[in-house]
């Protein structure tokens, strides 16, 4: 389950990390994640049942052992106010030059990733604990074998003409399919500077460098989940520099299991 979240965040991160002289601003995405693995679905149902009872949820999260098991499977748990679902319902990506901040919206599992391509580094931020974890420079998995095909399919998304790329990947016998709808109307140069970033457990998506243009819709079918990401708003205008720097006073921590 944790890996499917990482895949979703990675895809949004890559979208925000398209170095561009022509676009600085904010992209808002909706997200729909459907787990297909039976064990993961069972775990998800258990936690979502707890969300209906604030007392039960507090009891679970106050138990270090239970919380540790959940975070190992799901990722950092920071419940959004009034959350009734575990998985995120959307993402916000703020972009300025080679820097981007990707923030999940809604759900029990929240995640903020600050990517600084000019420093070849990415960080997971925990604002509640005032800590960060460095994500770049982790052990890289073998490259994914990928077949990328530009299809004749077209669509108009947010007023921009888009083409669909079909991507079929295989890694260690595990296959996945991606549909990536991109537009070249918003100029973006996906340089190799971003391929070196390792996003938690979701590294190895070098095939994205073969997709031309800015993605506005991404659909993924993996052995664990079906993921649909759709850009719902694009607002030009660079965010403040302070948004795209490590917050003052935050301390570095190491991810459990490393």
Look up the pTM and report it.
Answer: 0.74
Q: Between residues 222 and 232, which one has the greater pLDDT? A: 232
pLDDT at residue 184 in the model: 85
Would you say the C-alpha torsion 99, 183, 234, 177 has a positive or negative sign?
A: negative
HSE, CB side, 13 Å, CA atoms: give it for residue 20: 23
37-95 pLDDT per residue, tens:
787 777 777 777 776 777 776 776 777 776 666 666 555 566 555 555 677 888 888 88
Segment 153-174 shows an average pLDDT of: 91
Complete domains list, the chain, with CATH: 2-36+86-235 (2.50.20)
Q: How many CB atoms lie within 10 A of CB 232?
A: 12
HSE, CB side, 13 Å, CA atoms: give it for residue 251: 3
Residue 53 to residues 140, 187, 202, Cα–Cα distance (Å): 40, 47, 32
Residue 94 to residues 48, 170, 242, Cα–Cα distance (Å): 29, 31, 12
Both tokens of 40, joined, read 């993961």
> Does the pLDDT of residue 193 top 50, yes or no?
no
């Amino acid at each position: 389950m944790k890996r499917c979240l990482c895949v979703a965040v990675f895809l949004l991160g890559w979208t925000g990390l398209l170095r561009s002289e022509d676009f600085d601003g904010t992209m808002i995405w909706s997200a729909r994640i459907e787990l297909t693995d039976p064990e993961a679905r069972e775990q998800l149902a258990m936690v979502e049942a707890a969300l209906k009872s604030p007392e039960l949820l507090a009891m679970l999260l106050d138990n270090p052992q239970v919380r540790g098991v959940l975070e190992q499977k799901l990722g950092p748990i920071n419940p959004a106010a009034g959350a009734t679902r575990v998985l995120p319902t959307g993402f916000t990506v703020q972009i300025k030059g080679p820097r981007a901040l990707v923030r999940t919206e809604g759900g029990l599992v929240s995640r903020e990733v600050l990517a600084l391509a000019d420093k070849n580094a990415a960080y997971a931020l925990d604002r509640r604990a005032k800590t960060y974890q460095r994500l770049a420079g982790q052990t890289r998995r073998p490259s994914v074998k990928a077949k990328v095909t530009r299809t004749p399919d077209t669509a108009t998304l947010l007023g921009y003409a888009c083409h669909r790329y079909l991507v079929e990947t295989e890694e260690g016998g595990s296959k996945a399919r991606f549909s990536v709808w991109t537009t070249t109307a918003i100029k973006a140069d996906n340089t190799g500077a971003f391929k070196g970033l390792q996003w938690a457990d979701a590294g190895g998506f070098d095939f994205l460098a073969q997709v031309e243009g800015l993605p506005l819709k991404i659909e993924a079918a993996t052995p664990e989940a079906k993921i649909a990401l759709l850009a719902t708003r694009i607002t030009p205008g660079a965010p403040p520099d302070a948004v795209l720097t490590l917050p003052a006073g935050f301390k570095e921590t190491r991810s459990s299991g490393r």
